[in-house]
């Protein structure tokens, strides 16, 4: 295998603690996957039971309920009965914040994992038989055969889980890229953009509340497109000069200007402009993205449910990717790499449509990490423990919030905020994307 990294089963960075929680998550991701065999669902449960117990003894796993499989688990995975509220709310957010081309990408991925291919992309077993004739011992003796089977075990192959993981995390990566570009469009001109996104909880206190608990939280998420700072722009040559007599002009006008008094005019290079100041963090508009990080819970959530992600995007030819990191050669801007990749890939496949692998095919690889440290900002010592337990106190943490975010939905005084940390359950190490996926998410696919 030329590049196993680009075709292996997704590696989980943060497994779910139990089969039931896994089923509750992936059931919504498998919706709309028509024709998925029941045997694939059974394999999904069995494989994840092994994952859930690999670091636990059988007794501890049973006590924790990590391997329990009840009727509700089966119903969720088979799409029967009432869907969990998480799936319903996720579907609502999906409709409110649609991602272009999602249905096409889902169908393409499902066909790749469950479709029929004449080329035999994945072969697990082959069998054949050799006719040896009837025994002739009786008048109705039947034909006899020697039957042979060759089995190729592939214990890591779990198409249901792979479909769920690749689908969810490719869409998450594209949502994060789109959200970052909405706030800082220049992020797509970075060669390997880094984007951080975190959920947030804002604490409010009701002064006149008659209830036992006068505090409540409002949730959301924010995003930080890490745009390179302090890059030195190449200075134009110092060739400023006057041309002509009447009128006399200071040229080149693009980087030169006329200075000095009427009697002592000089043609000098313009002073370099200071880059515009931008905030580090911006409020996330995409409710689906905020929800996936714990920034849109149902009811009051614990601070441990607030999560964070960091995503690094790489673009390059398959042959340039090693076992880790980005392509070996320094790439161009992500946007131009994706645009050239669409053309390159189309030309490769048009020239040899029967081939399944092209080492020069351009791909986009999104790798996932997290922010390990939760941060907090408290405006009142009485309620500080509610948001600052096991969190780093950071001045100016809420500088990206406006007046509406500091106004309680049911009244109340704003007391501060806390940010998420750690990986959401089910996060994978990396996911492979096509260049056209990124351009389509950014609404740039047809803009050439």
What is the reported pLDDT for 344? 95
Cα–Cα dist 370/197, whole Å: 9
Q: Which residue has the tokens 């117990």?
A: 53
Neighbour count for residue 186 (Cβ, 10 Å): 14
Between helix 71-78 and helix 19-29 the angle, nearest 10°, is 20
Bigger pLDDT: 208 vs 320? 320
DSSP per-residue codes, 234-290: PPPPS--EEE-STT-EEESTTTEEEES-TTS-EEEEPPPPPPPP--S-EE---HHHH
The tokens describing 185, both together, are 């469009």
User: What does the pLDDT average to over 148-154?
Assistant: 66
pLDDT at 233: 46
CB 232 within 8 A of CB 275: no
State mean pLDDT over 415-431: 94
Query: Measuring CA to CA, which residue among 418, 422, 421 is closest to residue 376?
Result: 418
In the prediction, which pLDDT does 231 show? Answer: 45
- CA 113, CA 134: separation in Å to the nearest integer? 42
CB count in 10 Å sphere of residue 151: 9
What is the spatial distance between Cα 288 and Cα 9, in angstroms, rounded to a whole number? 25
The answer, yes or no, to whether residue 59 has pLDDT greater than 60, is no
- Averaged pLDDT for residues 131-135: 78
pLDDT band at 409 (very low <50, low <70, confident <90, very high): confident
> Per-residue confidence at 121, pLDDT binned at 50, 70, 90?
low
Looking at residues 263-283, what average pLDDT do you find? 77
Domain range list for the chain: 4-113+153-227+281-441
Residue 141's pLDDT band, with cuts at 50, 70 and 90, is: confident
- State residue 84's pLDDT score: 44
- pLDDT of residue 42 exceeding 80, the answer is no
Q: Output the CA–CA distances (angstroms, integers) from residue 93 to 96, 163, 413, in the order listed.
A: 5, 21, 29
**What percent of the chain stands above pLDDT 70?**
74
Distance separating alpha carbons of residues 401 and 251, to the nearest angstrom: 46
Q: Which residues are CB-neighbours of 130 under 8 A, at least 6 positions away? A: 145, 146, 147, 148
Higher pLDDT, 98 or 393: 393
- What long-range pairs does 98-102 form, CB within 8 A, spacing at least 24? 99/171, 99/174, 99/175, 99/178, 99/441, 100/440, 100/441, 100/443, 101/437, 101/440, 101/441, 102/171
Q: How far apart are CA 107 and CA 122, in angstroms?
A: 18
Higher pLDDT, 209 or 378: 378
The two tokens of residue 238 are 């110092």
* pLDDT value of position 7: 75
Q: What confidence category does residue 232 fall into, taking pLDDT thresholds of 50, 70 and 90? A: very low
**6-24 pLDDT tens trace:** 777 788 898 888 777 887 7
pLDDT of residue 230: 46
pLDDT the model gives residue 37? 62
Residue of higher predicted confidence among 124 and 2: 2
Q: Give the per-residue pLDDT at 127.
A: 65
pLDDT of residue 119: 47
Mean pLDDT in residue range 77-88: 52
The yes-or-no verdict on residue 172 having pLDDT over 90 is yes
């Amino acid at each position: 295998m030329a590049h196993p990294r680009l075709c292996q089963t997704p590696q989980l960075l943060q497994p779910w603690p139990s089969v039931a929680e896994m089923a509750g998550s992936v059931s919504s991701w498998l919706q709309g996957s028509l024709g998925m065999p029941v045997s694939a669902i059974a394999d999904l449960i069995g494989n994840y039971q092994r994952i859930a117990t690999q670091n636990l003894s059988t007794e501890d796993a049973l006590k924790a309920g990590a391997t329990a499989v009840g009727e509700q688990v089966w119903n969720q995975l088979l799409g029967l009965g009432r869907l969990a509220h998480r799936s319903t709310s996720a579907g609502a957010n999906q409709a409110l914040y649609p991602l272009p081309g999602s249905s096409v990408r889902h169908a393409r991925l499902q066909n790749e994992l469950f479709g029929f291919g004449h080329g035999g992309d994945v072969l697990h077993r082959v069998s054949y038989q050799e006719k040896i004739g009837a025994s002739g011992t009786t008048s109705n003796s039947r034909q006899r055969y020697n039957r042979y089977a060759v089995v190729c075990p592939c214990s890591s192959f779990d198409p249901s889980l792979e479909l769920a993981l690749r689908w969810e995390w490719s869409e998450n990566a594209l949502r994060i890229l789109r959200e970052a570009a909405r706030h800082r469009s220049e992020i797509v001109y970075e060669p390997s953009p880094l984007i951080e996104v975190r959920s947030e909880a804002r604490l409010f206190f009701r002064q006149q509340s008659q209830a036992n608990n006068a505090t409540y939280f409002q949730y959301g998420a924010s995003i930080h497109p890490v745009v390179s700072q302090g890059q030195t722009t190449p200075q134009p040559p110092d060739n400023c000069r006057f041309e002509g007599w009447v009128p006399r002009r200071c040229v080149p006008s693009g980087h030169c200007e006329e200075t000095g008094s009427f009697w002592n005019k000089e043609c000098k290079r313009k002073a370099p402009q200071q880059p515009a100041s931008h905030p580090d963090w911006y409020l996330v508009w995409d409710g689906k993205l905020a929800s996936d990080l714990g920034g849109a819970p149902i009811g009051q959530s614990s601070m441990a449910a607030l999560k964070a992600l960091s995503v690094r995007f790489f673009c390059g030819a398959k042959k340039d990717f090693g076992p880790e990191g980005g392509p070996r050669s320094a790439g161009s801007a992500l946007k131009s790499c994706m645009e050239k990749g669409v053309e390159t890939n189309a030309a490769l496949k048009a020239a040899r449509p029967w081939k399944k692998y092209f080492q020069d095919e351009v791909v986009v690889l999104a790798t996932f990490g997290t922010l390990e440290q939760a941060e907090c900002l408290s405006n009142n010592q009485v309620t500080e423990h509610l948001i600052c337990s096991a969190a780093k106190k950071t001045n100016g943490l809420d500088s990206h919030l406006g007046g509406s975010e500091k106004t309680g939905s049911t009244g109340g005084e704003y007391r501060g905020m806390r940010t998420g940390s750690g990986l959401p359950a089910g996060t994978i190490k990396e996911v492979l994307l096509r260049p056209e996926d990124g351009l389509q998410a950014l609404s740039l696919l047809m803009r050439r």
